[in-house]
């Protein structure tokens, strides 16, 4: 698949970029879009504002009530959803080809003129707070939050609030806060909309121009990507949660690398070989051979948009096996760090990653996700065409050099949450 030939990119309105990807799927269209305005753009005093705004977009507009919106979509078998990520407000829609214009109209209406009814806001806040209260017993979530809070200072974009802080933030948010955030943040400027399926570019552009023209511009500040992580020091974080049958462990540290660097790909591949899938070293050793864990893996994350991130290994253990599980995990990591990856492992994982990339393009949702993420990060379409080549040129010596350059086993942070024995 050649993205550059397949994708039609246009700017039908200043501040809005569209991507159209015709596929062999008959009669069905998938639409996805995003604009800056995610969690990082929320007020520091109320970091959950963006999440609540996105969750309230389908609760009524100046033109249609919540029920009228729902009935219109249900009558044509379509759906629209909104969510807030770290940096973006995202939306996704699925519809039949004849209903494309109506769905674009409804997306525009919900983005441009939501009304944030007080009664709906109260219900949403209660539901979100209730879910957060339940998650206090989630050992994996608690362990990861504590890990992240050790890795980063509280002004870093990868930092996480505690569950208690999130509950407090949500409880204080008012209808006025949502309207103020929406008025300032929503508009043209960083809006990307992609459509894939049984669609013509002309049809899509006409609908975009009709329903998004004359929208106001966004009024948001750019984010500084140069905030460093905390100085790396060895640390252990324990959070006891009574009566749990399993405990979750995170082991890792910050990495001074960003996604667009060659060393990111070297480090990503090395970590993938360590614990990226079921045939990786950690899974084979700690789970299959020793039987110490329900699940284990490793990844590198948080390195996008010019921001340095972190890597970690996670594992789920019975409380009485936590210490033994950690020792076994560190033993595998130490050997991987000291001796590096092998040519055989690298060849196998190249095949796996390239295969996964191709498989992800078999659906309109997967295809559109790749296009949109690429656009959000300011990359040219050619980046996707070159993906497999960038994987194929990785070599063992450079991967092993990157592992030793960016990781320091003497300064790992270990976070444990569960019933401490």
Does 165 lie in the same domain as 260? no
For the entire predicted model, the pTM comes to 0.94
* Residues 234-247 pLDDT 10s: 999 999 999 999 99
Residue 1 pLDDT > 80 = no
Last residue of a domain, one of 179, 212, 245: 212
Separation CA 159–CA 206 (nearest Å): 41
Q: Is residue 230 part of a domain?
A: no
* Residues 31-89 pLDDT 10s: 999 999 999 999 888 899 999 999 999 999 999 999 999 999 999 999 999 999 999 99
Q: Is residue 228 part of a domain?
A: no
Does 106 lie in the same domain as 53? yes
Q: Is residue 376 part of a domain?
A: yes
Q: Is residue 222 part of a domain?
A: no
Does 152 lie in the same domain as 9? yes
pLDDT the model gives residue 365: 92
Does 390 lie in the same domain as 334? yes
Q: Is residue 14 part of a domain?
A: yes
Assign residue 262 the CATH number of its domain. Answer: 3.30.830.10
pLDDT the model gives residue 222: 85
Q: Is residue 257 part of a domain?
A: yes
Does 208 lie in the same domain as 239? no
pLDDT the model gives residue 223: 86
Residue 225 pLDDT > 80 = no
Does 264 lie in the same domain as 203? no
Does 241 lie in the same domain as 187? no
Does 292 lie in the same domain as 150? no
Does 162 lie in the same domain as 120? yes
User: Which residues span the domain enclosing 346?
Assistant: 235-418
Q: Is residue 313 part of a domain?
A: yes
* Residues 61-73 pLDDT 10s: 999 999 999 999 9
Average pLDDT of the chain to the nearest whole number: 96
* Count of domains observed in the chain: 2
Does 239 lie in the same domain as 312? yes
Average pLDDT over residues 173-194: 97
Does 292 lie in the same domain as 398? yes
Does 157 lie in the same domain as 239? no
Q: Is residue 19 part of a domain?
A: yes
Residue 195 pLDDT > 90 = yes
């Amino acid at each position: 698949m050649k993205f550059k030939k397949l994708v039609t990119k246009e700017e039908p309105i200043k501040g809005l970029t569209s991507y159209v990807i015709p596929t062999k799927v008959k009669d069905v269209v998938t639409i996805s879009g995003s604009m800056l305005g995610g969690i990082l753009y929320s007020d520091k005093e109320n970091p959950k504002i963006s999440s609540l705004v996105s969750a309230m977009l389908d609760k009524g507009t100046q033109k249609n009530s919540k029920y009228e919106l729902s009935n219109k979509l249900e009558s044509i078998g379509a759906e629209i959803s909104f969510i807030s990520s770290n940096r973006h407000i995202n939306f996704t829609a699925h519809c039949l080809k004849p209903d494309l214009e109506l769905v674009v109209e409804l997306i525009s209406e919900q983005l441009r003129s939501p009304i944030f009814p007080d009664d709906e806001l109260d219900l949403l806040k209660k539901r979100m707070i209730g879910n957060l209260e339940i998650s206090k017993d989630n050992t994996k979530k608690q362990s990861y939050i504590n890990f992240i809070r050790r890795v980063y200072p509280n002004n870093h974009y990868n930092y996480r609030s505690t569950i208690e802080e999130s509950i407090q933030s949500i409880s204080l948010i008012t209808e006025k806060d949502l309207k103020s955030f929406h008025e300032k943040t929503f508009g043209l400027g960083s809006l990307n909309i992609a459509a894939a399926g049984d669609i013509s570019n002309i049809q899509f552009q006409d609908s975009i121009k009709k329903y998004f023209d004359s929208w106001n511009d966004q009024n948001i500040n750019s984010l500084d990507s140069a905030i460093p992580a905390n100085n790396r020091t060895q640390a252990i974080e324990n959070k006891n949660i009574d009566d749990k049958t399993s405990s979750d462990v995170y082991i890792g540290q910050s990495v001074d690398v960003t996604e667009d660097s060659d060393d990111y790909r070297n480090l990503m591949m090395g970590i993938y070989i360590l614990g990226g899938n079921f045939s990786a070293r950690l899974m084979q050793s700690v789970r299959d051979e020793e039987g110490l864990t329900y699940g284990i893996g490793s990844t590198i994350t948080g390195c996008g948009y010019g921001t340095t991130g972190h890597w970690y290994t996670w594992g789920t253990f019975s409380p009485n096996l936590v210490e033994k599980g950690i020792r076994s995990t560190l033993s595998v990591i130490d050997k991987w760090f000291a001796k590096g990856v092998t040519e055989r492992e690298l060849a196998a994982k190249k095949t796996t990653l390239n295969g996964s990339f191709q498989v992800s393009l078999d659906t309109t949702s997967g295809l559109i996700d790749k296009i949109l993420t690429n656009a959000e990060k300011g990359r040219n379409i050619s980046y996707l065409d070159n993906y497999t080549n960038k994987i194929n040129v990785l070599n063992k010596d450079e991967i092993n050099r990157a592992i030793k350059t960016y990781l320091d086993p003497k300064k790992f942070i270990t976070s444990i949450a569960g019933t401490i024995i």
